[in-house]
Copies of this chain bind each other. A is one copy, B any other.
Amino acid sequence: MVRHFIITGCAGFIGSSLVDRLLAQGHRVTGIDNFSTGQRRFLEGALKSTSFCLIEGDLLDLPSLTKAFAGGDTVFHFAANADVRFGTEHPRKDLEQNTIATFNVLEAMRSNGIKRIGFSSTGSVYGEAAMIPTPEDAPFPVQTSLYGASKLAGEGLIAAYCEGFGFQSWIFRFVSILGERYTHGHVYDFYKQLKADPTQLRVLGNGKQRKSYLYIQDCLDAMQVAVEKANGKVNIFNLGVDGYCEVNDSIGWISQALGAKPQMKYTGGDRGWIGDNPFIFLDTRGIRSLGWEPKHSIREGVVKTVEFLKANEWVMGAR
């Protein structure tokens, strides 16, 4: 079935990757981005397709958003302030770009009679989880970051629209995603540091923070499997691999890929920043029960990311 997808944040890492895949599958795609962090170069391929329409706009502009959504039948809402680390420097940013923007997406859908939405939430909504690996129905969490709180608010709005307005949703709680078109996060930061000075590396925290990562194409596979096979009103899935690494492991892989042997300078403490979660590891039995499994290990994801950055150093200057 050929669908007309609306992708917010279409020029971002995950958004643009999904745009390309949907176009390759023969779907029609309308993409929206305000290019605050999105990259035009990620849409070079898509823009060659007559099935793709790019709308440059901001989700906080509801009238324009409502126009942009005309004719769509499924929305993937990826646009967000993904700058998790600096939440406390600009708390309003998470409120506006994540919570209010999600509200506007839902209202634009309602105006256009669109009722299907996929949403990129985050494993951060679990706060400091009492259960690890953390299942979707873990104990009611206490938020520890403005980012997590703003995404939780988005989830809540979406679920309430499902109940109140007959929407159907697929909410994805991600670990960090890695791979081609990755433009922020620890691999990016370490790569940039090592390019500038391969002899030393400054690491926030003690390097022992355990993290779980998922490779972008495995992430897209999971989202498509979920939308195809899960038919509840509100379908919530953790997305991640069945394991984790320490930041130090990742540093080893990155250094190796770059042929660097840096001296480590740890800032100390068991977390990188206020609200950093020292251990996010999600129970993914839900999405696995639909037949999905990741095809790439964390190490493969990290190495592919370094390869992408090597071949696309322009992304370093693009921000």
Which A residues contact B (CB, under 8 angstroms)?
87-88, 91-92, 95, 99-100, 103, 106-107, 126-127, 130, 136-146, 148-150, 152-153, 155-157, 159-161, 163-165, 234, 236, 274-275
Interface of A is mostly: helix
Q: Which residues of B contact A138 (CB under 8 A)?
A: 139-140
Structural contact, B99 and A165, CB atoms closer than 8 A? no
Chain B hits for A163, CB < 8 A = 143-145, 274-275
Cα A76 to Cα B161 with chains together (Å)? 29
CB nearest neighbor in B for A137: B139
Distance (whole angstroms) from the CB of A87 to the closest CB of chain B: 7
Contacts of A127 in B (CB 8 A): 159
Nearest-CB distance from A285 to chain B (Å)?
A: 15
Task: Name A274's closest neighbour in chain B (CB-CB).
Answer: B164
**Contact between A148 and B156 (Cβ–Cβ < 8 Å)?**
yes
Contact (A157, B164) CB under 8 Å given A95-B103, A137-B140, A140-B138: no
Cα separation A160 to B100 with both chains bound (whole Å): 17
Given contacts A91-B107, A156-B153, A160-B275, contact A136 B143 (CB under 8 A): no
A149 and B157 in contact, given A138-B139, A139-B139 (Cβ under 8 angstroms): yes
> Which of A95, A143, A146 has the most chain B CB atoms inside 10 A of its CB?
A143
Given A88-B165, A160-B87, A160-B275, A149 and B153 touching (CB < 8 A)?
yes
CA distance A143 to B169 in the complex (A): 12
Which among A95, A137, A138, A140 has the highest number of chain B CB atoms within 10 Å?
Answer: A140
- 18 A-B pairs besides A95-B103, A145-B163 with CB distance below 8 A are A91-B103, A91-B107, A95-B99, A99-B99, A99-B153, A130-B137, A136-B140, A138-B139, A143-B157, A144-B159, A145-B160, A146-B161, A149-B156, A149-B159, A149-B160, A150-B156, A152-B152, A163-B275
